[in-house]
Amino acid sequence: MQPAPSHAVLLEPVRLGPVTAPNRFYQVPHCNGMGQRDPSAVAGMRAVKAEGGWGVVCTEECEIAPDSDVTPSIEARLWDDRDIPALARSAEAIKRHGALAGVELAHNGLATANRYTRAIPLSPSGGPVEACDPVQARPMDLADIAALRRRHRAAALRARTAGFDIVYCYAGHNLALPMHFLSRRYNTRGDAYGGSLENRVRLLRELIEDTKEAVGDRCAVAVRLAVDELMGPEGIVAAEEGRDIVALLAELPDLWDVNLSDWSHDSATARFEPEGWQVAHIDFVKSVTSKPVVGVGRFTTPDLMARLVRTGVLDLIGAARPSIADPFLPRKVAEGRSDEIRECIGCNVCVSGDFTMAPIRCTQNPTMGEEWRRGWHPERIAAAERPRGVLVVGGGPAGLEAALWLARRGHRVDLAEAGAAWGGRVARESALPGLASYARVRDHRMHLLRQMPNVALYLDSPLDAETALAGGHDAVVVATGARWRRDGAGRSARLGVPVAAQAAVFTPDDLMDGVLPARPGEPVLIFDDDHYYMGSVLAELLAAAGRRVELMTPAADAAHWTHNTLEQGRIQARLLELGVTITPHRALVGVTADGVEARCVFTGRTERCVPAATVLVTSRLPQRALYEDLTARRDAPGGPALALIGDALAPGTVAAAVYSGHGFARDFDETGGPADAVPFRRELPALAPADAP
């Protein structure tokens, strides 16, 4: 198969100094929650991307020295030669598939507190660290700057020894020491490294020159720069200092990797920004330099990618999240299969791995992070030794994923959905404000399932146990989802709270069914003990419908868990702009016909409010009636195997539901090791001699 003619430009090679990228698909550096703790897992993940056609595959940020320790985050390290083998494993794995391997050398300056090493953080001019620690950085003197340059050069040489083709000088995201020198709010120096922009650029210039001198004969030298901080005059502005910084260094690096700062802007979720939204901020760079330029913007559509190249905005299409959602995106473009791309939904569940110090995961791609640990591949699965007939009940994210991969293994699959539409919770939630991209979870899987001859699809097909057993299937997989509770049971009230029968109480399911509580102008209380997106999205929905909304939560702020997805600040700002009252640190005591009683989570003092209606966003009940009925009959001779997956097994995120369905399809009818064995490979630390220095 051939690429669409309009996409052929994306497959052209691009010269980057002494090396050549085989195409224009460029996986920019991104975190993964594995880093130096799990080097084989990282290598497996990066290798699959190279196999999938990404012409350049980069590491996450790579600490160059102990005084740039980002603990508890887990990133790469090149502190000394002992770190080379771990990074070499990734470089070798990437290059085995013909891609270039890039490493993002980083010193985090006052963005980190050095919690592991306890080194005093470094900064241009001192001051509190950006991390929420009662720690201040010390201002660097000229000897410190000289030492930093030596360490950066040494790390570049180690990177070359490890086999990398591209070595970064990192000045992006408000996380990098060179960026702190560029910034007037961090750099108040009066010497040759402060004051004028030319002086503030000096350190970055020297790092580029040092790196080129050290490894430029064999490695391309890239600069990652945030050209706009979206802070106005307090920060770097693309049309002003952003442009001038690029102009001052225009021809020095072999590649410009440009983005926005801070990270929440660079990786804005689809709830707040559309595909390609950064383009308007970075499109000037090509007019200032003749060197190749790579940029990002959650690009998922090859048409937009090709247009950016043809119109001279970018030379390479950068991606982090789209490369996570579909590691084989470039190969699908090259083979004319763009309709099969597993498009990123922009939910940032991938980012949450870094904040929770856990291996990366993805809503769309359940194999992400499991390539080495479990041997999962995003495009391949072992054929079934003996194809079976399987009935999957429920067409939500878990059921769709299980049906797709069971069918890919060769099983005969009947997929039955009780409702009139496919998608389950993602179909319902995608109709809520800002969540339209969640429909991609359904659309990708349905597109593939409809083409498979061994899959039969049945809508409007509610099944009871008798009907489910009548088909004679070898297995019945129950993926019937979950429903939101109406009794207030959740984290802060495990047994629920008294709710009067006459009280006007609603759940998210009611609102998704089109039932809006109260009348325009009347007050509605949303009690959010879930802490993810649902409470805040419903607040948006009701505010837009003219209700006076109060969001009450036991947490310190709205949608507290979304700090892990880089959304919380935007969510809080949007709710306040919509006039939503946010009441933190309150737990629900009870709901009566004439009011709601709440208590302070610290003092226990109670208070009452009198909304016209109350929406409880607390927890969900698995819908297990069918499974329990089937289980009660399982002693019948020759009965089918039974399984419970997704939210019906344990309510969680959409990513967890997809993962559950995928894992079942992988394991179905397979014989593994002992039931109590660890179900994946682990990278265990090697013990140094007890008396080692």
DSSP 525-537: EEEE-S-SSHHHH
CA angle 250, 252, 257 (to 5 degrees): 65
Report the distance separating Cα 489 and Cα 350, nearest Å: 29
Type of residue numbered 78: L
**What is the pLDDT averaged over residues 473-497?**
97
Structural tokens at position 670: 């397979």
Report the distance separating Cα 502 and Cα 519, nearest Å: 17
Catalytic residue among 31, 58, 169, 347: 31
pLDDT at 677: 86
- Helix then strand then coil, % of the chain, to nearest 5: 35, 20, 45
**What is the pLDDT averaged over residues 34-56?**
97
Q: Is 499 left (phi over 0), alpha (psi -120 to 50) or beta?
A: beta
pLDDT at 121: 96
Alpha helices, H only, 216-328: 243-248, 263-266, 279-282, 302-310, 321-325
The CA–CA distances, whole Å, from 329 to 110, 204, 361, 529, 594 equal: 37, 34, 17, 38, 56
pLDDT at 676: 79
Catalytic residue among 266, 326, 474, 528: 266
For residue 381, what pLDDT band results from cuts at 50, 70 and 90?
A: very high
Our answer to whether residue 217 is catalytic in this structure is no
Structural tokens at position 552: 């009450």
Would the pLDDT of 294 be above 80?
Answer: yes
For residue 606, what pLDDT band results from cuts at 50, 70 and 90?
A: very high
Burial call 30-61: b when 16+ CB within 10 Å, e when fewer: bbbbbbbebbbbbbbbbbbbbbbbbbbbbbbb
pLDDT at 689: 85
Report the distance separating Cα 183 and Cα 174, nearest Å: 9
Q: Is 365 left (phi over 0), alpha (psi -120 to 50) or beta?
A: beta
Task: State the CB neighbour count (10 A cutoff) for residue 350.
Answer: 27
For residue 487, what pLDDT band results from cuts at 50, 70 and 90?
A: very high
Structural tokens at position 656: 């967890």
Over residues 211-259, the pLDDT tens digits come to 999 999 999 999 999 999 999 988 889 889 999 999 999 999 999 999 9
Q: Tokens 């991307």 — which residue? A: 49
Would the pLDDT of 669 be above 80?
Answer: yes
The ranges of the chain annotated as CATH 3.40.50.720 are: 389-481+648-667
The ranges of the chain annotated as CATH 3.50.50.60 are: 484-621
Return the DSSP state at 565: G
Over residues 489-502, the pLDDT tens digits come to 999 999 999 999 99
pLDDT at 639: 84
The CA–CA distances, whole Å, from 81 to 2, 163, 345 equal: 45, 13, 39
Would the pLDDT of 84 be above 80?
Answer: yes
Domain 5-355 class in CATH = alpha beta
Would the pLDDT of 635 be above 80?
Answer: no
Q: Is 436 left (phi over 0), alpha (psi -120 to 50) or beta?
A: alpha
CB 482 within 8 A of CB 621: yes
Report the distance separating Cα 324 and Cα 101, nearest Å: 17
Report the distance separating Cα 46 and Cα 420, nearest Å: 40
Our answer to whether residue 473 is catalytic in this structure is no
Type of residue numbered 393: V
Would the pLDDT of 210 be above 90?
Answer: yes
**What is the pLDDT averaged over residues 279-295?**
97
For the four alpha carbons of 71, 73, 79 and 81, in that order, the dihedral sign comes to positive
Report the distance separating Cα 686 and Cα 672, nearest Å: 27
Cβ-in-10-Å burial (0-12, 13-18, 19+) of 138 comes to middle
Catalytic residue among 170, 186, 438, 532: 170
Q: What CATH topology corresponds to 484-621?
A: FAD/NAD(P)-binding domain (3.50.50)
Report the distance separating Cα 108 and Cα 170, nearest Å: 9
**What is the pLDDT averaged over residues 31-50?**
97
pLDDT at 670: 75
**What is the pLDDT averaged over residues 550-573?**
98
Q: Tokens 């894992």 — which residue? A: 663
The torsion defined by the Cα of 654, 268, 341 and 10, in degrees rounded to 10, comes to: -170
For residue 692, what pLDDT band results from cuts at 50, 70 and 90?
A: low
Would the pLDDT of 30 be above 90?
Answer: yes
Average pLDDT for the chain? 96
Report the distance separating Cα 33 and Cα 578, nearest Å: 35
Would the pLDDT of 438 be above 80?
Answer: yes
- Omega before 134 within 30 of 0, i.e. cis: no
Which of 184, 218, 208 minimizes the C-alpha distance to 289?
208
SS3 of 638, please? Answer: coil
Report the distance separating Cα 393 and Cα 418, nearest Å: 8
Maximal C-alpha separation, the chain: 86
CB 238 within 8 A of CB 282: yes
Our answer to whether residue 170 is catalytic in this structure is yes
SS3 of 197, please? Answer: helix
SS3 of 227, please? Answer: strand
Report the distance separating Cα 655 and Cα 565, nearest Å: 13
pLDDT at 672: 63
pLDDT at 673: 67
Report the distance separating Cα 413 and Cα 399, nearest Å: 11
pLDDT at 693: 66
pTM assigned to the model: 0.96
pLDDT at 224: 97
Phi, psi torsion values for 200, nearest 5 degrees: -70, -25
CATH number corresponding to 389-481+648-667: 3.40.50.720
Return the DSSP state at 120: P
For residue 636, what pLDDT band results from cuts at 50, 70 and 90?
A: low
Query: What order do you get walking across the sheet with 122-123 strand by strand?
Result: 122-123, 136-139, 127-128
Report the percentage of the chain scoring pLDDT > 70.
Answer: 99
Report the distance separating Cα 665 and Cα 673, nearest Å: 17
Catalytic residue among 7, 30, 173, 444: 173
Structural tokens at position 323: 């490369």
The CA–CA distances, whole Å, from 206 to 137, 145, 178, 252, 418 equal: 22, 10, 10, 10, 65
Least confident of 426-435, 436-445, 668-677: 668-677
